[in-house]
Structure 1
Amino acid sequence: MAGVDNWRTCLNDQSFCKQLRENNAKDSGQKRCSTSKGLTAIQGGDLYVWDSFASHLIFYNLKNLLPECADRERNQAQILLCSNAPRFEVEFLTFNSSGSLVALWGQGGITVLELPKRWGRYAELEGGKPSITCKSISIASHFFASHKEAGLQQVLWHPGSTTDTHLTFLTSNGILSVYNIQFPDVPTQVIHLDSSGHEPSQSTSCISVATALGEKSMGFDFGPPIQLSRRVSLSQSSQSSQTDGITVWPAYVVKGNGDMLVAYTDLHSSSPVKLAPQGPLLMHPPAEDNYGVDACSVCCLGEAPTVLVIATCEGKLHHCVVLPSSSPESQVDNDWSISAGSTGQFEGAPDVSLYVYESVELEMTLTTAESDTEDEFSCPIRLLKDAVNPDWYHCSHVAGIHTVILPWISNLETFCFDDGADLQDLPEQQECIVEHLICTKPLPSSPPSPVLGVGVVRDASLGMSLLVLTSDIDFVSLPLSTSTKYKPSKALGSSPRLIQSPLRSLAQEPFHQHIAKILLRKSTNPVLKSAKAASMSSQECFQLLSRTTQVFREEYLQKQGLAQQEIQKRVRILTELKQQQQRDIGDLEVSRSQLHESAQELAIRYDDCQEEHEAILRRIESVMRRLQARNPVLSEAERGMKKDLETMEEQLDNYRKSLHQLRTKHEYQTRQIKKSQGAAASHSLKNSQVSQIRTVLQQEGEDLSNMLHRINQLKLDVGV
C-alpha cells in the first residue's frame, strides 16, 4: 500500500501541474470561475486534463508515479493538440464507452477529439511523442450559430450506439438532439420538449420568460432501453400476423421548476420514430413545492427498477423510483404513440410515475446549527456516476465534493428479479449514506472555490481513488475503499427462501454489521481545500472549530459510546448464555454416563436374547425335519431330486454306449499295431516320428484314463 499511497502525494509535483498553475494564473487575471466544471477525465489509470489557457488536452499515465515505474525513460505528460481548436470556453470532458473519442463542450458548442492509438514500449499515445496533433470535429456548428441564446446544458454519448459515435445534447430552450459525428451537421434525431411540439422561438424575451418561470431544461440522463412493439392494422393482419418492434432509449429530462420529462430516442430505425415526450411525470407523495423549484441535474441509477436522483441548487437530493403509473389521470392522455411514416404504429412504452423514496440535504458549508443561516448558500450540483459501484454517485459543486451511497438499490433489484418474492420479502427501510469528502467553502462568507474536475481512478496497481482538481490546480486524491465504513450486504434479505426456521430470520443480521450501522456517520469532517485568497476572522475560525468539535462529539464519541453499550450488552447476554450452556453441558454429561450404563445393560441382555434365539431356531429346524420325514407325499425338493436322478440314469446309458465303442476301437487299434510291427521291423523310424507317436499315445492314454475315471465316478454316483 505504500506504493499506492505514494502516487497521491507526488502528482502535484509533476511538471504539467506546475504548467497548469501558471496558465491558470494567467487566465485568472481575465476572468474568475464561479461554477464547478469537469475539466478532467479518467480512463482507468489515465488522466486527461483540459488546459483552458493553451486550449489543448493533457494526457498523463498515473502509473508513472508508482515506485516501480520510476526508472522509465519518459515520465512526462503528452500534449494533445486540436486540429480545429474550439473557439468557445470548454467546461466539461465526456468520453465515450470505448475511450476512443472525447467530447469537449461548453455553453457555446461541442468539439469531438479523436484520440490517437496507443503503442510503444509503455503503450503510450503515438509511441510517447511529447506533442500530438489530433483530429477534432465541430458538432452542430450551424445549430449553435442559429441558436445563440440557447445554452448547452448536458452532453452524453448515446448508450444505444453500436458504433459508439452518436452524441446527444440538451439545450436550455428544450431541444434534445442526437448527432452522429460521421455527419456532424446533420442531426439523426431532434426532439422538442415543449408542449407545442414546434421549434421554439429564438427571441431573447421568450427564453428569459421561460427561465424566469423555471421551464428551462437543466439536464438529462439515459435510462435502460425499452422494447416497443409494432401495432398491426386490420388490412395487414389478413396478410401477415407477424409483428416486429424497435428498441428505444428513454432520456429523463429535468427542468428548473422540478418537472420531469421522458423523451424516447431511436437509433436503429431507418427513419426514427417520433414519440411525443411524456410529462411532467407525477411524483408521489405529492409536495406543494414539487420537491423544489430550482432543480439543476438528474442522474439515472439501476436498471430494474430505475432510480432517478434529482438535485436542486439548495443542496437537496431526491431519490425517486420509476414505476408504472397506476393513477387514472395518467391513463387519460395516452395517445402519444404516433405512427412513423407508413411503417405502422408503435405501442408498449408504459406511462410511468416517480415515487420519492427519500430526500436528503447536503451540507454545503461547515456551519453549526446555532450559527446564523440568514444568507443561505445555493449553487448548481453536478451528479457523476461511479463507474465501478452502480449504487454510488458523486456530487460536484462550488462548495466541494459529496459521495452518496444507496445501499437499498441492490436489495430492491433482488426483490424485483425474484419471481416468487412476496411483499414481506422487501428489504427493510435503509437510508442513504452521505460522505462529505472535500469542502472548498467552509463558511458562507468564504470566496467561491469551485471544483474544476472529478474522476474515479480504478486500477489494480493504483487502487480505487477519487481524484479531484480544485480551483488552485491542486489534485486531491481520496481512497474510496476507506471513504465509507459501511458496505451494503446483498445477503440481507436477498435469499429469504434459504431460511428454514422462522427463528433464524430474527437474527439474520450479523453483530458486526449491527455495530457498523451504529458507528455509521451521517456527517463527517471533510478535507478543507478553500481558495488561497480566503481569510477568516477569529470568530469564523472558532465557528469551524466548534462545528468540527460538534461533529466529533456527535458522530464519533456518542456513537462509540452507543456501540460500547451495545457491545457490553452483547457481552452480558453471551456470558449468561455461556453459563447456561455450561450448566446444560453438565446435565448432558450426567445423562451421557447414565446412557452409557444403560447401553452396557442392554448389550448384555441383547447377547442373552441372541443365544436364546439361536437355540429356538435349532429346535424349530429339528422339528421341521422330523415332520417332513413322516410326510407320505414327496416334497418339492424330493421331486426335484428324483427328476435329477432319472436324468442321470439316461446319461449313464449314453456313457455305456460310448465306452463300448471306445473299447472296440481300442481292440481294433491293438490288432493293427501288431500287424504293422512285423512290417515296420525292417524300417527304422526317425526320432521326430517316434516323439510324435509317443505324444499321441500319451494323449490318448490320458484321455482314456480320464474317461475311465469319469465312468467310475458315475458308477459311484449312480450306485451301480
Structure 2
Amino acid sequence: MAGVDNWRTCLNDQPFCKQLRENNAKDSGQKRYSTSKGLTAIQGGDLYVWDSFSCHLVFYNLKNLLPECADRERNQAQILLCSNAPRFEVEFLTFNLTGSLVALWGKGGITVLELPKRWGRYAELEGGKPSISCKSISIASHFFASHKGAGLQQVLWHPGSESDTHMAFLTSNGILSVYNIQFPDVPVQVIHVDSQEPSQSASCISVATALGEKTMGFDFGPPIQLSRRASFSLSSQMDSTTVWPAYVVKGNGDMLVAYTDLLSSSPVKLAPQGPLLMHPPAEDNYGVDACSVCCLGETPTVLVIATCEGKLHHCVVLPSNSPESQTDSDWSASAGSSSQFEGAPDVSLYVYESVELELTLTTAANEAEDEFTCPIRLHKDAVNSDWYHCSHVAGIHTVILPWLDSLETFCYDDGTDLKDLPEQQECIVEHLICTKPLLSSPPSPVLGVGVVREASLGTFLLVLTSDIHFVSLPLSTSTKYKLSTPVMGTSPRLIQSPLRSLAQEPFHQHIAKILARKSTNPVLKSAKAASMSSQECFQLLSRTTQVFREEYLQKQGLAQQEIQKRVRILTQLKQQQQQDLRDLDNSRARLHESAQELAIRYEDCQEEHETILRRIEAVMRRLQARNPVLSEAERGMKKDLEAMEEQLDNYKRSLHQLRTKHDYQTRQIKKSEVAAASHSLKNSQVSQVRSVLQQEGEDLSNMLHRINQLKLDVGV
C-alpha cells in the first residue's frame, strides 16, 4: 500500500490538480454537487477531467508519475479547449469504443469533443502542446430546445455502429433517440418508450411524470436476429436483420425493452415491450424508486437494477412462455405486426438475488432514524465483465458476481447438467469509500470513477471526491482469487474418474468462504465542512469495532476451528494410512515367501512331469514293437526305403558311366599334349632361323638405301 499512497500523493500534488481545486473553490462546487457525477474518464493510463469553471477538458498521462519518467522534459497536463463550448452544465464524460470521441453531457444537452491525434516523443496529444483547440459538435440542439421540460437521463455510444459515431440518449419524458454525429440534428431513430406520445409543451406535465413513472436510465444488451416475414422474403435480399435491445428502467421499477436498428436502410419499427414480468413476483415490484440499470454478460443477459434505497437486484433475462406475458405484450406485438420482420421474442426477468448496500456507517441502534436515500449510478468495470461499481453521494461500492461465469458456461455448453449451476453462491460487495459516514454528515458526492488498466501502472480504481482529491484503491486480490479459482463441478469434462465428481470443494476454498467478508470498513472521505460530536465519533468507533469483531475476529476463530478440525481428521487419516502401509508390508513379505515356496514346488513338478513323459514314450515304443502287424507309418517307411534302393541302383550305373567317360577324356588330353610337343623347334634351330632373318633384313635395308641413292642420281 505504500506505493499506492505515494502514487495518490504524487497525483494530488500535480499542478493541474491544484488548479482544479482552485477553480472548484471559485465555482463553489461543493455547494452545487448534491448528486454523484462522472467528471472523469480513464482510457488505459490516460486521465481526462472536466473543469466546470473553465469549461475545458484536462488530459494527463498517468505514466508521468512513474519514477523512470521523472526526468522527462515535460510531464504537465494538457488542456483541451472546445471550439463550441457547451452552455449547459456538464455532468458526465462518456468515451466511444475507439477512444476518439468523448460525449460531454448533462441534463440540458450533449456536446461531442473530437480528440486530437497522439504523436511526439512521448506519444502525447499534438506533440505535447500545453493547450489544444479541439473540434466540438452540439448534438440534437433542436430537440433539446423544443423539449425544455425533459431532462437528459442517460447517454451511451451505440455498440452496433460500424463507424463508432452513433450515440443514443434517453430523456425523462420517455424518448429514446439515436443520432449520428455526422448529422447532429437529424435523428436516425426515435422510439417513444411510453405507450403514448409525450407532450411537446414544457408547461404540461405528463401523467407518468406526475406519478413518478418517468424513465431513469437504459443500457444496451447483446444483439438479436429478426427474421423476415414470408410475404417480404421474396422481394428483398436480406432474410434477417440485427437489432440491439435497449433495456429501459422507470422510476416505479418497471422494465421495458426497446429495439434499435442501424443496419437497415429504413430502421425496423418495433414497439417497446413491457413492463416485463419479474419472477418471483413482489408486492412492491422490487422497489418503487429505481434509478439506474446496467447490463452484464451476453448469454444469458443479466440486468442490475439499482434503487435509491441502496438495493441492487440481479435479474436474468430469459424467454417467457407464460400466458400473462403474452397478454401484457399484445400491444407490442400488434404494433410490430405490420413490419416486414417478425416481432422480437417475449422475455421476462428472473431475480437471482437482491442485495442492499450500506450507504452510511450507522449501527443497528440507530435504525429508528430516517433512512438515507440517494440515486445510485452503475459503472461497468473495464477489466472484468462480472464486476461493476456503484457511485453515489455516500461513496463507492464494488460488486462482483462470481456466479456469472458458471451461468454463461452452462448456457454455452449443451453437455452440462443442472447440477453444474452455482449453488448458494452470492455476490461479493465491498464498501471502498464512504463520504457520508453518518446521517448528519453533509453530502460529499463522488465526482468521478474509473479503472486504471496499464501494465506499468497496474490496475487501480481511481476516484475523484467532491474536494477534487484523487483516491486510488487497488482491486481486491482476495476477490480476484475467489473469481479465478474454478468451482468444483463447473468443468465435468476434465474429470477422468467418476469418483472425483463426488469429491468436495478444496479446503482452501472452504476457508476462503469462511473468511469472506460481507461488510468492510471503507476509506472515510467526508466533506471538509463535516464536524462530528463525541457521540457520533463513538458510533463510528463502535461500528468499526463491530465490523472487525464480526468480519475478522469471529471468522478467523471459525477458520481456526475448521483448520484444527481438519488437522485432527488428517492426523487420524495419516495414522490409519500408516497402519495400512505396515499391514501391506507384512502382506508383501508373506506373499514373497509364498512365491518362493511355489517356485520350488513348480520346479519339482516340472521334473516329475518330464520323467513321466519319458516313461510313457518308452512304454509306447515297446508296445509298438510287439505288435505283429505293421503300422501305417511302418508301411509307408518300407515303401520309401524300397524306392530309395531302386534309386541307388540307378545312381550306381550313372556313376560308372561318368567314370568311364572321365578316363577316356583324360587319355585324349595326354595324346594331344605329346603330339604338340613333337612338332616344336629346338632352341638351336630357333637361333639359326633368327640369325638368318636378321641377315636378310640387313640386306633388304642396304638394297633400299642403294635404290634411293640411284633415284637421286637419276634425278640429277
TM range (shorter): 0.7 to 0.9
CA shift, 1:485, in A, is: 7.1
Q: So what's the TM-score if we normalise by structure 1?
A: 0.85
Q: Which deviates more from structure 2 when the two are superposed, residues 106-115 or residues 607-616?
A: 607-616
- Which residue of structure 2 lines up, in the alignment, with residue 404 of structure 1? 399
- Which residue of structure 2 lines up, in the alignment, with residue 542 of structure 1? 538
CA shift, 1:424, in A, is: 2.9
Change (3 A) 1:340 1:359: closer
CA shift, 1:613, in A, is: 5.5
Provide the rounded CA distance (Å) in 2 between the counterparts of 1:132 and 1:115.
9
Contact 2:421 2:490 in 1 (8 A): no
Provide the rounded CA distance (Å) in 2 between the counterparts of 1:275 and 1:678.
134
Contact 1:301 1:390 in 2 (8 A): yes
Provide the rounded CA distance (Å) in 2 between the counterparts of 1:202 and 1:177.
15
- Which residue of structure 2 lines up, in the alignment, with residue 480 of structure 1? 475
Change (3 A) 1:524 1:481: closer
Matched, 1:553 2:549: yes
Provide the rounded CA distance (Å) in 2 between the counterparts of 1:338 and 1:14.
60
CA shift, 1:248, in A, is: 0.7
Provide the rounded CA distance (Å) in 2 between the counterparts of 1:126 and 1:593.
85
- Which residue of structure 2 lines up, in the alignment, with residue 710 of structure 1? none
- Which residue of structure 2 lines up, in the alignment, with residue 708 of structure 1? none
- Which residue of structure 1 lines up, in the alignment, with residue 168 of structure 2? 168
Provide the rounded CA distance (Å) in 2 between the counterparts of 1:119 and 1:639.
111
Match for residue 231 of structure 1 among 229, 232, 246: 229
Q: Which deviates more from structure 2 when the two are superposed, residues 552-561 or residues 290-299?
A: 552-561
Change (3 A) 1:53 1:598: same
- Aligned AA for 2:596? Q
CA shift, 1:641, in A, is: 14
Contact 1:250 1:265 in 2 (8 A): yes
CA shift, 1:481, in A, is: 3.5
CA shift, 1:263, in A, is: 0.4
Match for residue 579 of structure 1 among 569, 575, 581: 575
Q: Which deviates more from structure 2 when the two are superposed, residues 216-225 or residues 347-356?
A: 347-356
- Aligned AA for 2:214? K
Contact 2:173 2:209 in 1 (8 A): no
Q: Deviations for 1:68-123, whole angstroms, at most 9, x for unmatched residues?
A: 22222221111111111111111111111111111111111111111111112221
Provide the rounded CA distance (Å) in 1 between the counterparts of 2:248 and 2:617.
97
Q: So what's the TM-score if we normalise by structure 2?
A: 0.85
Q: Which deviates more from structure 2 when the two are superposed, residues 323-332 or residues 21-30?
A: 21-30
Q: Deviations for 1:652-671, whole angstroms, at most 9, x for unmatched residues?
A: x9xx99xx99x99xx99x98
Provide the rounded CA distance (Å) in 2 between the counterparts of 1:353 and 1:49.
39
- Which residue of structure 2 lines up, in the alignment, with residue 97 of structure 1? 97
Counting only pairs closer than 5 Å after superposition, residues 417-496 of structure 1 correspond to structure 2 as 417-482=412-477, 484=479, 487-488=482-483, 489-496=485-492
Q: Which deviates more from structure 2 when the two are superposed, residues 462-471 or residues 562-571?
A: 562-571
Aligned to 1:512, the other structure's residue is in SS state helix
Q: Percent identity?
A: 82
- Aligned AA for 1:81? L
Provide the rounded CA distance (Å) in 2 between the counterparts of 1:378 and 1:628.
118
Provide the rounded CA distance (Å) in 1 between the counterparts of 2:640 and 2:158.
92
- Aligned AA for 1:568? Q
- Which residue of structure 2 lines up, in the alignment, with residue 302 of structure 1? 297
Provide the rounded CA distance (Å) in 2 between the counterparts of 1:29 and 1:508.
55
Contact 1:175 1:190 in 2 (8 A): yes
Contact 2:149 2:203 in 1 (8 A): no
- Which residue of structure 2 lines up, in the alignment, with residue 709 of structure 1? none
Q: Deviations for 1:120-154, whole angstroms, at most 9, x for unmatched residues?
A: 22211112222111111111111111111111100
Provide the rounded CA distance (Å) in 1 between the counterparts of 2:106 and 2:635.
111
Match for residue 325 of structure 1 among 315, 320, 329: 320
Matched, 1:352 2:347: yes
Q: Which deviates more from structure 2 when the two are superposed, residues 626-635 or residues 579-588?
A: 626-635
Counting only pairs closer than 5 Å after superposition, residues 246-395 of structure 1 correspond to structure 2 as 246-332=241-327, 333-334=329-330, 336=332, 345-347=340-342, 349-395=344-390
Provide the rounded CA distance (Å) in 2 between the counterparts of 1:127 and 1:411.
47
Change (3 A) 1:625 1:316: farther
- Aligned AA for 2:193? L
Could you say which structure has the larger radius of gyration? 2
Provide the rounded CA distance (Å) in 1 between the counterparts of 2:616 and 2:340.
93
- What RMSD, in angstroms, separates the aligned Cα atoms of the two structures? 3.9
- Aligned AA for 2:569? I
- Aligned AA for 2:212? G
Provide the rounded CA distance (Å) in 1 between the counterparts of 2:239 and 2:497.
48
Aligned to 1:491, the other structure's residue is in SS state coil
Provide the rounded CA distance (Å) in 1 between the counterparts of 2:211 and 2:325.
24
Change (3 A) 1:354 1:340: closer
Q: Deviations for 1:523-582, whole angstroms, at most 9, x for unmatched residues?
A: 110000000111111111111111111111111111111111111111121122222222
Aligned to 1:598, the other structure's residue is in SS state helix
- Aligned AA for 1:583? Q
Q: Which deviates more from structure 2 when the two are superposed, residues 436-445 or residues 616-625?
A: 616-625
CA shift, 1:615, in A, is: 5.9
Change (3 A) 1:599 1:112: same
- Which residue of structure 2 lines up, in the alignment, with residue 186 of structure 1? 186
Aligned to 2:341, the other structure's residue is in SS state strand
Q: Deviations for 1:220-247, whole angstroms, at most 9, x for unmatched residues?
A: 00111111111112x967x99x871011
Provide the rounded CA distance (Å) in 1 between the counterparts of 2:126 and 2:18.
24
Matched, 1:528 2:549: no
Change (3 A) 1:379 1:594: same
CA shift, 1:355, in A, is: 0.8
Gaps of 5+ in 1: 683-720
CA shift, 1:594, in A, is: 1.1
Provide the rounded CA distance (Å) in 2 between the counterparts of 1:352 and 1:219.
19
CA shift, 1:492, in A, is: 2.7
Aligned to 2:127, the other structure's residue is in SS state helix
Q: Deviations for 1:429-456, whole angstroms, at most 9, x for unmatched residues?
A: 2111110000000101101000000001
Contact 1:173 1:207 in 2 (8 A): no
CA shift, 1:627, in A, is: 11
CA shift, 1:353, in A, is: 0.6
- Aligned AA for 1:188? V
Contact 2:147 2:202 in 1 (8 A): no
Provide the rounded CA distance (Å) in 1 between the counterparts of 2:351 and 2:306.
13
Provide the rounded CA distance (Å) in 2 between the counterparts of 1:635 and 1:558.
105
CA shift, 1:301, in A, is: 0.7
Provide the rounded CA distance (Å) in 1 between the counterparts of 2:83 and 2:559.
61
Provide the rounded CA distance (Å) in 2 between the counterparts of 1:84 and 1:428.
55
Provide the rounded CA distance (Å) in 1 between the counterparts of 2:144 and 2:641.
115
Provide the rounded CA distance (Å) in 2 between the counterparts of 1:562 and 1:341.
61
Contact 1:379 1:398 in 2 (8 A): yes
Aligned length: 672
- Aligned AA for 2:523? V
Q: Deviations for 1:484-520, whole angstroms, at most 9, x for unmatched residues?
A: 4761333332123555666644533111111111111
Contact 2:30 2:467 in 1 (8 A): no
Provide the rounded CA distance (Å) in 2 between the counterparts of 1:581 and 1:426.
35
Provide the rounded CA distance (Å) in 2 between the counterparts of 1:134 and 1:628.
122
- Which residue of structure 2 lines up, in the alignment, with residue 706 of structure 1? none
Match for residue 567 of structure 1 among 554, 563, 570: 563
CA shift, 1:612, in A, is: 4.9
Q: Deviations for 1:244-272, whole angstroms, at most 9, x for unmatched residues?
A: 10111110000001000000111111111
CA shift, 1:207, in A, is: 3.4
Aligned to 2:185, the other structure's residue is in SS state coil
Provide the rounded CA distance (Å) in 2 between the counterparts of 1:263 and 1:552.
46
Gaps of 5+ in 2: 687-716
